[in-house]
Amino acid sequence: MAPMTDTGEEMYGLVERLYPLCRSITGDGVRATLDIVGEYLPLQVHEVPTGTQVLDWTVPQEWNIRDAYIADSTGRRVVDFAASSLHVLGYSVPVARTMPLSELRAHLHTLPDHPNWVPYRTSYYKPEWGFCLAQETLDALPDGDYEVRIDSTLADGHLTYAEHVVPGQVADEVIVSCHTCHPSLANDNLAGIAVATFLARALAEQTPYYTYRFIYAPGTIGAITWLARNAERVDRVKHGLVLACAGDSGQLTYKQSRRGDAEIDRVLRHVLAASERPHQVNEFTPYGYDERQYCSPGFNLGVGSLTRTPYAGYPEYHTSADNLDYVSPTAMADTLAVCREAFAVLDRNRRYLNLSPYGEPQLGRRGLYDALGGRSDTKQAQMAMLWVLNLSDGEHSLLDVAEKSGLPFDTVADAAGALHEAGLIKT
């Protein structure tokens, strides 16, 4: 794997490539996004037809847009979709009219508190049209007639999502999910897409214990569609993580699963605390990203959410200020590093049974102390062996051992590996 500084730059480069595309919950913008991600790792792309019943939802019509603008009496475009995909209300129905500003205002969305920012707004499930623009742009428009044009289509088509699978030693799965429905918003969620993509590439260089399934899907309806299409095999999902807002300068924030005590929750709490990074751990709430779908009571999967600054937690959220300047290679590299650290713990966390539980087995005779010679943490490693032996009762995991002993998880896992090889413990 490339050094993290180089990887951060590569992730930023992917965000740059994806940023101009107009994404929504369906359409060619999603396909173009997946085409680019597909240059970084192989994807299995799924097309689900309009009208398909998915749990309590129905796959909607597909939306595509070619052009949109508001032009003044001279023909000058005062609002132009070509300048930013945020300028059009997502899922706008087509319109071609001339109307006075007084009538047009009802279809205009601004942020008066941030007069030079453009908001992100959608109308997925209600036929509507509109434009988003800076308040200062609106304030500068004189009364008069304006040409309004939205060259879009809303027709039967497909919802598109994709998966990438990193095979593991077992069929039990860890899912990593990110949403692909937002247009030109760099942190939410292009940084999440980039981190997920490079996490998949890093895992593929190993032979992980779990099978890792990466899901690239539009928010809400995409995750619901994936769950509906995988309901019979969802019991394979043992752990999961939703990635979003992964590239800003804020501290890392982990939102726990609905269970609160799922293994992924314990692992993230442990890794963040052990890393001594500034961080926050939040309780589950049924609002946010797609963790709320995976954690809905019928599924109740052990899926948490990792962000830096959480959704709606920064003023730039869902505005044009969530741009390429708002995210950084350093922040994305740090988010990726935490994911890799967490999955390294998750992948090695086992429950063992001591095969010599009556008294302490003689470690020296088995060459176990000698095997640790020369390590800078020899004393820690010896203590880790004793702790693993003592707590290998089939009920305590290695994470339990690390937390109870105060020893680093890697040291504990290395000790367990040596004891297992010596035939003193078994899974």
Cα 97 from Cα 383, distance rounded (Å): 77
The whole-number pLDDT of residue 62 equals 98
Question: For the whole model, what pTM was predicted?
Answer: 0.95
Tell the burial category of 50 from Cβ atoms under 10 Å away from its Cβ (0-12, 13-18, 19+).
middle
Q: Is residue 131 helix, strand or coil?
A: strand
**CATH class of the structural domain 4-60+158-348:** alpha beta
Asked whether the predicted pLDDT for residue 330 surpasses 90, the reply is yes
- Residue-wise pLDDT tens digits, 105-129: 999 999 999 999 999 999 999 999 9
Residues written for the chain: 427
203: tokens are 């895992």
Asked whether the predicted pLDDT for residue 196 surpasses 90, the reply is yes
The domain 64-155: what is its CATH number?
3.50.30.90
Cα 291 from Cα 304, distance rounded (Å): 6
Asked whether the predicted pLDDT for residue 79 surpasses 90, the reply is yes
The residue type found at 245 is C
Cα dist from 153 to 1, 2, 64, 117, whole Å:
43, 43, 5, 27
In this prediction, residue 1 has a pLDDT band, given cuts at 50, 70 and 90, of very low
The domain 351-426: what is its CATH number?
1.10.10.10
- Residue-wise pLDDT tens digits, 251-292: 999 999 999 999 999 999 999 999 999 999 999 999 999 999
- Residue-wise pLDDT tens digits, 281-329: 999 999 999 999 999 999 999 999 999 999 999 999 999 999 999 999 9
Is there a cis peptide before residue 189, judged by omega within 30 degrees of 0?
yes
CA-wise closest residue to 55 among 219, 168, 221, 206:
221
67: tokens are 């052009």
Q: Specify whether the CB–CB gap between 178 and 215 falls below 8 A.
A: yes
Asked whether the predicted pLDDT for residue 377 surpasses 90, the reply is no
Q: Specify whether the CB–CB gap between 241 and 232 falls below 8 A.
A: no
The whole-number pLDDT of residue 365 equals 85
In this prediction, residue 6 has a pLDDT band, given cuts at 50, 70 and 90, of confident
The whole-number pLDDT of residue 135 equals 98
The whole-number pLDDT of residue 30 equals 98
Strands (E), 1-138: 44-49, 53-54, 57-58, 62-71, 77-80, 95-100, 108-109, 131-132
Instruction: Read off the pLDDT of each residue in 397-405 and give the average, rounded to a whole number.
Output: 97
Instruction: Read off the pLDDT of each residue in 8-29 and give the average, rounded to a whole number.
Output: 98
The whole-number pLDDT of residue 231 equals 96
Q: What percent of the chain has pLDDT over 90?
A: 93
Q: Is residue 188 helix, strand or coil?
A: helix
Average pLDDT of the chain to the nearest whole number = 95
Instruction: Read off the pLDDT of each residue in 326-337 and give the average, rounded to a whole number.
Output: 98
Instruction: Read off the pLDDT of each residue in 10-39 and give the average, rounded to a whole number.
Output: 98
Cα 110 from Cα 119, distance rounded (Å): 6
338: tokens are 């935490």
Question: Beta strands 252-255 and 237-243: pairing type?
Answer: unpaired
Instruction: Read off the pLDDT of each residue in 320-346 and give the average, rounded to a whole number.
Output: 98
The whole-number pLDDT of residue 269 equals 98
HSE of 339, CA atoms in CB hemisphere, 13 A: 35
Q: Specify whether the CB–CB gap between 252 and 308 falls below 8 A.
A: yes
CA-wise closest residue to 86 among 51, 147, 137:
137
Instruction: Read off the pLDDT of each residue in 148-168 and give the average, rounded to a whole number.
Output: 98
Q: Do domains 4-60+158-348 and 64-155 have the same CATH topology?
A: no
DSSP 333-355: HHHHHHHHHHHHHHHH--EEEES
The residue type found at 122 is T
DSSP 289: S
Rg of the chain in Å (alpha carbons): 25
Q: What percent of the chain has pLDDT over 70?
A: 97
Cα 416 from Cα 319, distance rounded (Å): 49
Query: Across the strands, what pairs with 109?
Result: 132
The whole-number pLDDT of residue 371 equals 54
- The domain ranges of the chain are 4-60+158-348, 64-155, 351-426
DSSP 314-326: STTTTBTTSSTTT
Backbone angles phi, psi at 253, to 5 degrees: -130, 125
